[in-house]
Structures are given as structure tokens and as C-alpha cells.
């Protein structure tokens, strides 16, 4: 999810994101505080009501003993002072009973009303009752008082359990709220991070296009939305793409014209050298033959450099491969013949193991791969060494595998990637008369990429340097 926020400075966007992410956290704190306050108030009310009810009930129980003693004393002595004491105890009991009714739960009201009715009856009739009637009435008061106390303790126990359940329920609510806040905060952070990640990804994509296709990066018309600082980087990348495109066009134009302009005079020089070497125009002195040999070698060097520049320039054009079926053995043999003279000169033993009859590929690109790998093998391999060319099909991965290996100095691991780059060269010296340009393996890599393949370095027993080409089968 990307909500474009144009021209907002990045620091303000981060600050706004931080403040927005605090909103659900603040709501959670407020809700959890409210829940905790309600639970605390509920426990406080429960405690106060329980203490008040128990205090009054215990006092009623004590007063009932005094009432029983004073009424029985009056039954025996019939004095005014004892009557006054009994009436005071009964009045105090009735007052406490009224207070208990105010704080008692509903399930204790019936016991309180029954006790109120009994004490009122006792107050109005204890002076006229005989001993048996008085004992019966006092027994009812004691029994109801005992039932009242038992029910009060049961109520306190059940209320305590309800308070504990309420606390657990509120705790679950807080947990659910915490999960909800965490999820909402995650969504907010996801949305806000997209305000930075999305434009950064757009910039990364444009940078990758600069590396692969400068013209495509320049023609990219997708509208950029993002913080002000990243928008400025996008504008700078557009300017860089334009400049790189112009430089690339100039470079390709120079390589194309220079290379082609070299070919015509080179052909004339090579032909002239052949005439002189064959002494068609007349005999040559030993010194003149030596000069002609130097001239021929230099011309061949220049021809080799020109051909590699042409190959490199061709690959820069991003040619579309033309796939067709070709005789694999014939392509390899033709490439070997072109370098047969060099292999014989350096006494290198070349083994070709072609297990494919037909290969579906672009003949020009595949030939360039073989040529450059064989050139590399004869130039850097040991004299009297071995060269292996192996081509086979891997049924499991549905690919064609080409391996070219030679005995020779091993390339250090930290140099293997660099020698695949244009003009990248190892410190290992060449053993032929042609100077290295650093384009051979780079051309191999580019040809393989045009064929949607990959280039890797592997270890082959009895060989020091090995290149593995993996090409998809049609």
C-alpha cells in the first residue's frame, strides 16, 4: 500500500510516522488504565461492603446474646432497670439491622426482614410471655441469626470469586487490546515505511536500468512520488541517464567506425606482407625477411585487436539471438582449425569430447564463445599442456553444458570475477605473441547472457583452469 506524499522532507515524514504510530499506543494506555481503575474500584467497593456487613453481623450476634440474657432476667426479676436494658438492647439491634439491610445484597434481605419481624415481636411481647414462649421466640431469633451469618459468608465467598473472574476477564480484554494495538501499529508502520521503501525501490530499479539499459532508464515515464530528498535523487538519475546514453552512443560510434576503418588498410598490409614473404616481387635478404616477419606479427596483432573490438561492439548492440539447429561437432572443429597453428606451435594436446549431434543455438554467438575460450586456453596454458573441450546435454536440468579447461597457471579466487568484466585482466602472463585486451572472457560472458545462459568457474581433475557454460535447451 503506497499513499504518495509529494515533496515532504524525509525527516518530517519519519517524525509524522513516529507520531502516528504513537496514537494506538496512547489509546491502549488509556484503555488499560481505565480497566485497571474499574477493577480497583470494584475490589474497593467489595471490600468496604464486606467489612461493613461482617462488622454489623458480628455486632448483631453479640447483641442477640445480651437481649436473650436481659429478657430472661426480666422474666425472673421484673424490675424497671432490667426492662430498660432489654429495650435498649432491642432498639440497638433494630438500628443495626436497619443498617445491615442498607448494605446487604438482595439475597440477604429476606433473612433481615424475618429477623426484623421477630425482634419487633419480641420487643412488644417479652414482658407478657411465659418462659416457654420466650425461649421459643429467642430460639427462632438465634436460628435466623445463624442462617443470616452463614449466608453472609457464602455471599462474601461468591462475591470474591466474581471479583477474581472479573479481574481475569478484564485481563483478557487488556491482552486482546494489546494484540489489536500491535496489529494496528504494524499496519501503520507498514504503510508509513512504504512511503520510503517504495520510492527507494523505484530508484533501485532505475539504477539497475542504468546498468543494463540506459536508454530504457531514460525513457521510463513512470511518475515518481516520494520524499523531497529522494525526488531530487530521481532527477539527478535522469540527468545521469541522459549523459550516459550520449556517452554510450559516442563510444559505440567510435568503436564501429574505427574498427571498420582499420579492416581495409589491415587487409592491404596483410596482403602486401604475404607478397613480400613469398618473394613475388623479388628475393629478400635475411635482414629484410626478419623485418617482414616482424611486420607480419604486428599486423596479426592489430587484426586480432580489431576483431575483438568488433566483437565487443557487436555485443554492446544487444543483438537478438537467431536460434537454429547446427552440427555441434562441426562448429567446434571449425574453431579448433582456426587455432590449430597456435596449438601445434606450443605443442598443446587438444581433446574434443562432443556428445551432442545437434545443438539449437545462435551459430555466431556460440562460435564466438568457443573461439574466445580456445584463444584463452592456448594463450595462457602451459606449453606441452592439455586442453579439453566437452559438450553434453544435462537431461535433469534440460540444459547443454560446455566445459573448456586447460593446464596452466591457476587464477586466484579473488580475480575470477574481475576477469569476466570488460578489459579485466589477470596478472598471469600470456605465452603467445598476441597482447591481451581483457575482452576475451567478457565477450564469452556477454554471448552466454544473450543466449540466457550462465558462466561459472569449476574444478576439473588434471586441469588448472576450467570454465563451465550452461545454456538452456530449446
Scored b (16 or more CB within 10 A) or e, 411-427 reads beeeebeebeeeeebbe
When comparing pLDDT for 242 and 469, which is higher? 469
**Confidence band, pLDDT 50/70/90 cuts, at residue 145:** confident
Assess whether pLDDT exceeds 60 at residue 28: yes
Q: Measuring CA to CA, how many Å separate 228 from each of 81, 236, 240?
A: 99, 13, 19
**Confidence band, pLDDT 50/70/90 cuts, at residue 403:** very high
Contact 422, 332 (CB under 8 A): no
**Helices within 213-327 (DSSP H only):** 214-218, 228-277, 286-316
Report the pLDDT averaged over residues 181-208.
75
Q: Which residues 6+ apart lie within 8 Å of 246 measured at CB?
A: none
Residues paired with residue 250 on neighbouring β-strands, in sequence order: none
**Confidence band, pLDDT 50/70/90 cuts, at residue 470:** very high
169 half-sphere exposure, CB direction, 13 A CA radius = 8
Tell me how far apart the alpha carbons of residues 195 and 221 are, in angstroms, rounded to a whole number: 20
C-alpha cell, 149:
451469618
C-alpha cell, 454:
550462465
Q: Measuring CA to CA, how many Å separate 370 from each of 70, 319, 335?
A: 127, 18, 7
| β 399-406/358-361 pair status | unpaired
Tell me how far apart the alpha carbons of residues 229 and 58 are, in angstroms, rounded to a whole number: 78
Report the pLDDT averaged over residues 282-310.
73
Contact 70, 190 (CB under 8 A): no
Evaluate if pTM is beyond 0.75.
Answer: no
Please report the pLDDT score of residue 2 as a whole number.
46
**Confidence band, pLDDT 50/70/90 cuts, at residue 208:** confident
| pLDDT tens column, 262-288 | 667 777 777 777 777 777 777 878 887
C-alpha cell, 446:
556477454
Average confidence score pLDDT of the chain: 78
Q: What is the DSSP letter of 4?
A: -
Assess whether pLDDT exceeds 60 at residue 218: no
| pLDDT tens column, 90-106 | 888 888 888 888 877 77
C-alpha cell, 123:
420487643
Maximum distance among all Cα pairs of the chain, rounded to whole angstroms? 175
**Confidence band, pLDDT 50/70/90 cuts, at residue 364:** confident
| pLDDT tens column, 227-240 | 677 777 777 877 88
**Confidence band, pLDDT 50/70/90 cuts, at residue 402:** very high
C-alpha cell, 400:
547443454
| pLDDT tens column, 149-176 | 888 888 778 878 887 887 788 788 778 8
Please report the pLDDT score of residue 404 as a whole number.
92
| pLDDT tens column, 49-71 | 778 788 888 888 888 888 888 88
Q: Measuring CA to CA, how many Å separate 159 from each of 58, 111, 167, 304, 319?
A: 19, 18, 12, 100, 86
Phi, psi of 82 (to 5 degrees): -70, -35
Please report the pLDDT score of residue 377 as a whole number.
86
Amino acid at each position: 500500500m503506497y499513499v504518495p506524499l509529494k515533496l515532504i522532507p524525509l525527516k518530517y515524514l519519519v517524525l509524522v510516522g513516529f507520531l502516528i504510530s504513537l496514537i494506538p499506543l496512547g489509546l491502549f494506555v488509556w484503555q488499560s488504565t481505565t480497566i485497571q481503575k474499574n477493577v480497583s474500584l470494584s475490589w474497593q467497593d467489595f471490600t468496604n461492603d464486606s467489612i461493613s456487613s461482617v462488622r454489623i453481623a458480628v455486632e448483631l450476634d453479640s447483641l442477640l446474646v445480651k437481649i436473650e440474657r436481659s429478657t430472661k432476667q426480666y422474666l425472673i426479676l421484673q424490675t424497671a432497670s432490667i426492662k430498660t436494658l432489654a429495650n435498649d438492647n432491642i432498639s440497638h439491634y433494630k438500628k443495626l439491622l436497619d443498617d445491615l439491610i442498607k448494605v446487604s445484597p438482595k439475597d440477604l434481605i429476606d433473612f433481615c426482614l424475618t429477623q426484623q419481624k421477630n425482634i419487633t415481636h419480641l420487643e412488644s411481647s417479652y414482658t407478657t410471655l411465659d418462659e416457654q414462649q420466650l425461649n421459643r421466640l429467642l430460639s427462632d431469633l438465634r436460628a435466623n441469626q445463624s442462617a443470616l451469618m452463614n449466608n453472609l459468608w457464602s455471599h462474601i465467598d461468591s462475591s470474591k470469586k466474581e471479583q477474581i473472574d472479573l479481574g481475569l476477564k478484564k485481563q483478557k480484554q487488556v491482552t486482546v487490546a494489546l494484540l489489536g494495538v500491535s496489529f494496528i501499529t504494524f499496519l501503520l508502520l507498514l504503510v508509513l515505511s512504504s512511503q520510503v521503501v517504495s520510492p527507494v525501490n523505484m530508484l533501485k530499479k532505475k539504477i539497475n536500468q542504468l546498468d543494463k539499459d540506459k536508454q530504457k532508464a531514460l525513457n521510463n515515464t513512470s511518475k515518481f512520488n516520494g520524499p523531497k530528498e529522494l525526488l531530487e535523487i530521481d532527477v539527478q538519475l535522469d540527468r545521469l541517464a541522459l549523459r550516459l546514453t550520449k556517452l554510450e552512443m559516442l563510444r559505440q560510434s567510435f568503436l564501429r567506425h574505427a574498427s571498420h576503418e582499420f579492416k581495409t588498410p589491415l587487409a592491404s598490409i596483410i596482403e602486401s606482407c604475404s607478397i613480400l614473404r613469398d618473394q613475388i616481387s623479388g628475393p629478400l635478404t635475411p635482414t629484410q625477411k626478419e623485418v617482414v616477419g616482424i611486420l607480419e606479427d604486428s599486423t596479426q596483432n592489430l587484426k586480432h585487436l580489431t576483431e575483438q573490438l568488433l566483437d565487443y561492439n557487436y555485443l554492446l548492440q544487444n543483438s537478438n539471438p537467431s536460434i537454429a539447429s547446427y552440427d555441434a561437432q562441426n562448429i567446434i572443429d571449425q574453431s579448433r582449425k582456426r587455432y590449430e597453428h597456435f596449438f601445434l606451435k606450443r605443442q598443446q594436446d587438444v581433446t574434443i569430447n562432443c556428445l551432442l549431434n545437434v545443438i539449437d543455438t545462435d551459430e555466431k554467438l556460440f562460435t564466438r564463445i568457443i573461439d574466445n575460450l580456445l584463444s584463452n586456453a592456448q594463450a595462457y596454458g602451459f606449453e606441452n599442456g592439455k586442453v579439453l573441450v566437452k559438450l553434453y546435454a544435462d537431461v535433469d536440468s534440460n540444459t547443454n553444458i560446455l566445459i573448456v579447461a586447460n593446464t596452466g597457471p591457476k587464477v586466484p579466487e579473488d580475480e575470477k570475477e574481475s576477469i569476466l568484466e570488460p578489459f579485466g585482466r589477470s596478472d598471469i602472463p600470456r605465452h603467445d605473441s598476441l597482447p591481451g585486451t581483457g575482452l576475451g572472457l567478457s565477450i564469452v560472458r556477454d554471448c552466454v547472457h544473450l543466449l540466457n545462459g550462465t558462466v561459472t568457474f569449476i574444478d576439473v581433475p588434471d586441469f588448472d583452469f576450467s570454465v563451465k557454460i550452461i545454456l538452456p535447451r530449446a
